[in-house]
Amino acid sequence: MVRKDTSILGIDLHEQEIRVVQMSSRANRLTLGKFGRAPMPEGAVQNGRVLHPGPVAVALRLLLNSMEIGNAGRTVVGVLGDGTTLRTMSVPPVPDHELPMIIAGEVNHYGLVHSPGGAYSYLRLIPHTRSSSESRNTQSGSDKRETWLDPEAGDQNPAVVTVVAVEEDVLYSLQDTVEQSNLAIESIEPTQYAMFRSIMMAGGPGATLFALMISPANTDVAFVHKGLIVGYRRIDIGSRLLTLEYSTTTDSPGSPGPTAMGVDAYGNTRSNPNTASGPSGLNRLAVESLSLEVQRTLNYYQREFPEVTIEENLYLAIDDARIDVVAKELTLSLGVSIEPLRPTLHVQETPELADSSNALGPMYAAAFGLALHGQQIMGRVPRIDLYSKQRAGVQQAETQRNFRGSIFASLLAIALGVTGYFLYNKQIVSLQVETNETVARANELKSKTNLVVQERQRQEDQYKALRSEGAPVIEIMDFISNSVKPGSGLDNIQIAPDYRVVIQGQSVNETLLIDFYETLQRCPVLTNIRIVRFGELVPEQGIGYGFEINGTAVSVGRIRLPEDKKK
Could you report the per-residue pLDDT of 483-531, keeping only the tens digit for each? 888 888 888 888 887 888 899 888 888 888 888 888 888 888 888 888 8
Alpha helices in 147-247 (DSSP H): 168-180, 191-203, 239-242
DSSP per residue, 237-301: --HHHHT---BSSSSPTT----S--EE-TTS-EES-TTB-B-GGG-BHHHHHHHHHHHHHHHHHH
Confidence of residue 347 (pLDDT cuts 50, 70, 90): very low
| Beta pairing, strands 219-225 & 228-235 | antiparallel
Rounded to 10°, the helix 53-66/168-180 angle is 40
Nearest to 375 by CA among 13, 29, 115, 21: 29
Which is more confidently placed, 550 or 395?
Answer: 550
Identify whether the C-beta of residue 171 lies closer than 8 Å to the C-beta of residue 190. no
Between CA 214 and CA 237 the distance in angstroms is 8
pLDDT of residue 282: 84
**Percentage of the chain with pLDDT > 90?**
24
Confidence of residue 389 (pLDDT cuts 50, 70, 90): very low
Between CA 64 and CA 43 the distance in angstroms is 21
Radius of gyration of the chain (CA): 31
Residue 120 pLDDT exceeds 70:
yes
**Percentage of the chain with pLDDT > 70?**
75
Residue 234 pLDDT exceeds 90:
yes
The string over 308-331, giving b where at least 16 C-beta atoms fall within 10 Å of a residue's C-beta and e elsewhere, is: bebeeebbbbbbbeebebbbebbe
pLDDT of residue 193: 93
Residue 457 pLDDT exceeds 60:
yes
Which is more confidently placed, 341 or 133?
Answer: 341
Confidence of residue 142 (pLDDT cuts 50, 70, 90): very low
Q: pLDDT tens, 292-334?
A: 999 999 889 888 888 888 777 899 999 988 888 888 888 888 8
Mention every residue, 6+ apart, whose C-beta is less than 8 A from residue 532: 182, 548, 549, 550
Between CA 557 and CA 470 the distance in angstroms is 8
Which is more confidently placed, 372 or 128?
Answer: 372
**Average model confidence (pLDDT) across the chain:** 77
| Beta pairing, strands 84-91 & 209-214 | unpaired
Residue 167 pLDDT exceeds 50:
yes
pLDDT of residue 31: 85
Mention every residue, 6+ apart, whose C-beta is less than 8 A from residue 81: 48, 190, 191, 192, 215, 216, 217, 218, 220, 234, 238
Confidence of residue 348 (pLDDT cuts 50, 70, 90): very low
Residue 148 pLDDT exceeds 50:
no
Identify whether the C-beta of residue 77 lies closer than 8 Å to the C-beta of residue 386. no
pLDDT of residue 223: 92
Lowest mean pLDDT among 185-189, 465-469, 478-482: 465-469
Confidence of residue 248 (pLDDT cuts 50, 70, 90): very low
Which is more confidently placed, 330 or 420?
Answer: 330
Residue 15 pLDDT exceeds 70:
yes
Burial class (CB in 10 A: 0-12, 13-18, 19+), 165: buried
Confidence of residue 1 (pLDDT cuts 50, 70, 90): very low
In Å, the largest CA–CA distance within the chain is: 107
Between CA 466 and CA 460 the distance in angstroms is 10
pLDDT of residue 536: 83
pLDDT of residue 382: 82
pTM above 0.75, yes or no: no
Residue 235 pLDDT exceeds 90:
yes
Residue 275 pLDDT exceeds 50:
no
pLDDT of residue 60: 94
